[in-house]
């Protein structure tokens, strides 16, 4: 709950049986569709330039090669989607080591012997078991909400957090503990992030009133009591519970041992799971970002750099792929902004880099429509601008995907899946770069009048 760890949401989930995708059928259909697209493109180019008819065999060979390559990316997308689906199911089904407490009875505890007023009189309080043997007592009266949390305790700390969305980041918590010297401590913390340095003491959004909060032990239990001055009574409120087994050092909390999150209905005294709407939004934000920024746009850049000898097919492929990738990238940012408006997560670096990468991609789209003619004097400058701004956008996008995984506490499935994707793209680029270098070296060793290889000539052209 309070230091470097994942956010886990207590959501009962039934895992549906996973049917393996029919890759053979998909590959067959994909090959057929791409051959059809290739034939249409060939007819279109021939209509514009009749001289291309003489090169029809070469054009069809090029199109067939792309029709054979493209299903590999389709397979990769299917595998990535399966991995992310498993991750989402695991995230929704996890809430620490247990779920909510069963039953609706609380222990009969005499608070008058160890808690100060006004926490001694609990006769009118509603009590609900919430997690393990944790019990939550509360009463709302004349704008004042009195809360007592009872939990098992030996050493360490116990905390209760109030969240907007069931997530740790951005929530406020009351934490209590008994020091090594027997001194009772209770403090409010603002959970700005997952690092210990981002858990700010004596800060938060809980409207504590003038009645001092209290914490005390009774046998093997700790009792944390406080009052909130509310303008409107609590209704359904996302609650976080956590505990740590180490004493806070200089009021810096250690990493929690376990935690949970649930929605507590103060009007009915009942608990329920946190809505998985935000989990789905966060998952979709990540999937769309990885597909757009991590797959489609890099593939379009590879086409422009290493397949220019397949002119003009490379140009149309590059333009279409990058427009599709830009659409995914724009969708990623829009989903992120919508998610931020609901979660208010404190991730300035991730949000800022995402917007910066989007601005670079918009400049790339504008550059496409404003590109000068090939014989223009500024064409070389335009080529440098277009290529380097594109690389810069992809670099920042890759960094931002990693930052997003860190901000959300993504598990190993996300990291392994994205690492595998990056590895495939990097290896493909290295192989193509080596092949292009060998072709160029071979060209330099040929006599001046020897026919040159169009592959090596087109790898690094002078203009687009």
Residue in 204, 213, 211 with CA at minimum distance from that of residue 176: 213
pLDDT at 245 (0 to 100): 87
Say what the pLDDT of residue 53 is: 46
Give residues with Cβ within 8 angstroms of 16, minimum separation 6. Answer: none
**Most distant pair of Cα atoms in the chain: their distance:** 103
The pLDDT mean for the chain works out to 76
Residues 243 and 289 reside in one and the same domain: no
Out of 300-314, 336-350, 366-380, 423-437, pick the least confident. 336-350
Look at residue 406 in the predicted model and tell me its pLDDT.
81
Please report, for residues 115, 241, 349, the alpha-carbon distance to residue 296 in angstroms, rounded to integers and kept in the order given: 62, 41, 24
CA–CA gap between residue 155 and residue 146 (Å, rounded): 25
> What digits encode the pLDDT tens for the residues 325-354?
999 999 999 999 888 877 666 678 898 999
Helix, strand and coil percent figures for the chain, each rounded to 5 = 50, 20, 30
Question: What's the CA gap between 456 and 435, in Å, rounded?
Answer: 9
Confidence label for 395 from pLDDT (cuts 50, 70 and 90): very high
- Other C-beta atoms closer than 10 Å to the C-beta of 26 total 14
Q: Collect all residues with Cβ–Cβ distance below 8 Å to 162 and sequence separation of at least 6.
A: 171, 172, 173, 205, 206, 237, 238, 239, 240
- pLDDT recorded at residue 91: 36
Residue 448: give the domain boundaries: 23-94+277-459
Peptide bond preceding 409: is omega within 30 degrees of 0, i.e. cis?
no
Does residue 61 sit in the same domain as residue 185?
no
Q: What is the pLDDT of residues 108-167, one digit of tens each?
A: 888 888 898 889 887 788 888 888 889 999 988 888 899 999 999 988 999 999 987 777
- CATH number of the domain where residue 343 is located: 1.20.120.1770
Tell me the sheet residues that pair with 145.
140, 228
Residues 407 and 325 placed together within one structural domain of the fold: yes
In a domain, 152, yes or no: yes
- The b/e string for 284-293 (b: 16+ C-beta within 10 A; e otherwise) is bbbbbbbbbb
19-51: pLDDT as tens digits: 444 434 333 443 444 434 344 444 544 444 444
What is the predicted pLDDT for the residue at 301? 93
Nearest to 1 by CA among 239, 272, 206: 239
Which of 272, 295, 329 is the endpoint of a domain?
272
Q: End of a domain among 272, 290, 323?
A: 272
Cα separation of 168 and 184, whole Å? 25
Does any domain span residue 286? yes
- CB distance 241 to 299 below 8 Å: no
Check residue 83 and report its DSSP letter.
H
Per-residue confidence (pLDDT) for residue 423, from 0 to 100? 94
Say which CATH number the domain at 258 has. Answer: 2.60.40.1210
- Which pLDDT score is estimated for 96? 41
User: Is residue 198 located within the same domain as residue 299?
Assistant: no
In DSSP terms, 224 is beta-bridged to 149, 215
Q: Phi first, then psi: give them for residue 141, nearest 5 degrees.
A: -150, 120
What torsion do the CA atoms of 280, 283, 287, 290 make, to the nearest 10 degrees? 150
Q: Residue 142 belongs to what H/E stretch?
A: none
Same domain, 218 and 338: no
pLDDT exceeds cutoff 60 at 410: yes
- At residue 70 the predicted structure's pLDDT band, cuts being 50, 70 and 90, is low
Averaged pLDDT for residues 399-405? 92
Cα first-last separation, the chain: 53
Q: Cα separation of 232 and 211, whole Å? A: 19
Residue 187's SS3 state is: strand
Query: What Å distances lie between residue 93 and 8, 12, 50, 308, 410, CA to CA?
Result: 8, 6, 61, 49, 15
Q: From residue 6, give the alpha-carbon distance in Å to each of 25, 40, 176, 412.
A: 38, 50, 22, 11
Residues 342 and 383 grouped into a single domain = yes
Tens-place pLDDT, residues 181-229: 888 999 999 988 777 778 888 888 899 999 999 999 988 999 999 999 9
Q: Do 365 and 224 reside in the same domain of the chain? A: no
Burial state string for 252-273 with b = 16 or more CB within 10 A and e = fewer than 16 = ebbebebbbbbbbebeeeebeb
Cα-based angle 71, 72, 76 (whole degrees, multiple of 5): 115
Q: Residue 443: what pLDDT?
A: 75
| E strands present in 295-415 | none
- Cβ atoms of 157 and 177 within 8 Å: the answer is yes
pLDDT digits (tens, 9 = 90+) for 244-303: 988 888 878 888 888 888 888 887 766 666 556 777 888 899 999 999 999 999 999 999
Same domain, 78 and 122: no
Q: Under a CB-based contact definition with an 8 Å cutoff, are residues 289 and 401 in contact?
A: yes
| Same domain as 64, residue 136 | no
Same domain, 283 and 195: no
Q: Taking the CA of residue 398 as centre, how many other CA atoms within 13 Å lie in the half-sphere pointing to its CB? A: 16
> Which is higher by pLDDT, 366 or 61?
366
The predicted structure's pLDDT at residue 386: 92
Across the range 1-14, mean pLDDT stands at 40
- The answer to whether residues 255 and 317 belong to one domain is no
Q: Give percent of the chain above pLDDT 70.
A: 71
Contact 137, 105 (CB under 8 A): no
């Amino acid at each position: 709950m309070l230091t470097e760890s994942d956010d886990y949401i207590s959501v009962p989930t039934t895992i549906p049986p996973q049917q393996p995708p029919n890759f053979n059928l998909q590959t067959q259909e994909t090959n057929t569709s791409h051959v059809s697209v290739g034939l249409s493109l060939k007819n279109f180019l021939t209509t514009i330039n009749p001289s291309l008819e003489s090169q029809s065999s070469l054009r069809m060979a090029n199109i067939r090669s792309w029709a054979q390559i493209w299903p590999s990316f389709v397979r990769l997308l299917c595998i990535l989607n399966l991995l992310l689906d498993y991750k989402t199911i695991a995230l929704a089904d996890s809430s620490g080591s247990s779920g909510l407490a069963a039953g609706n009875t609380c222990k009969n505890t005499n608070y008058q012997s160890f808690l100060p007023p006004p926490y001694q009189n609990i006769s009118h309080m509603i009590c609900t078991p919430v997690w393990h043997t944790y019990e939550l007592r509360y009463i709302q009266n004349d704008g004042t909400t009195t809360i007592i949390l009872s939990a098992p305790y030996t050493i360490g700390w116990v905390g209760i957090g109030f969240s907007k969305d069931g997530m740790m980041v951005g929530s406020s918590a009351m934490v209590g503990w008994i020091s090594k010297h027997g001194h009772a401590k209770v403090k409010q913390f603002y959970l700005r992030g997952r690092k210990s340095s981002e858990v700010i003491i004596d800060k938060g959004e809980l409207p504590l009133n003038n009645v001092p909060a209290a914490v005390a032990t009774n046998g093997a239990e700790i009792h944390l009591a406080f009052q909130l001055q509310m303008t409107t009574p609590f209704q359904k409120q996302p609650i976080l519970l956590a505990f740590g087994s180490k004493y806070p050092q200089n009021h810096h909390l250690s990493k929690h041992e376990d935690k949970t999150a649930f929605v507590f209905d103060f009007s009915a005294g009942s608990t329920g799971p946190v809505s998985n709407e935000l989990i789905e939004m966060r998952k979709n934000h990540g999937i769309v970002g990885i597909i757009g920024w991590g797959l489609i746009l890099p593939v379009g850049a590879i086409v422009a750099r290493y397949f220019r000898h397949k002119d003009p097919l490379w140009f149309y492929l590059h333009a279409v792929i990058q427009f599709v990738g830009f659409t995914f990238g724009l969708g990623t940012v829009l989903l992120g902004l919508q998610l931020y408006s609901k979660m208010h997560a404190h991730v300035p670096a991730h949000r800022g880099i995402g917007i910066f990468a989007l601005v670079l991609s918009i400049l790339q789209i504008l550059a496409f429509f404003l590109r000068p003619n090939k014989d223009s004097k500024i064409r070389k400058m335009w080529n440098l601008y277009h290529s380097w701004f594109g690389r810069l956008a992809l670099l920042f996008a890759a960094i931002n995907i990693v930052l997003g995984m860190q901000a959300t506490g993504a598990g190993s499935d996300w990291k392994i899946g994205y690492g595998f994707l990056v590895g495939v793209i990097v290896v493909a680029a290295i192989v193509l770069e080596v092949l292009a270098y060998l072709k160029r070296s071979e060209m330099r060793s040929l006599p001046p009048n020897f026919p040159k290889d169009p592959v090596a000539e087109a790898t690094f052209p002078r203009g687009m």
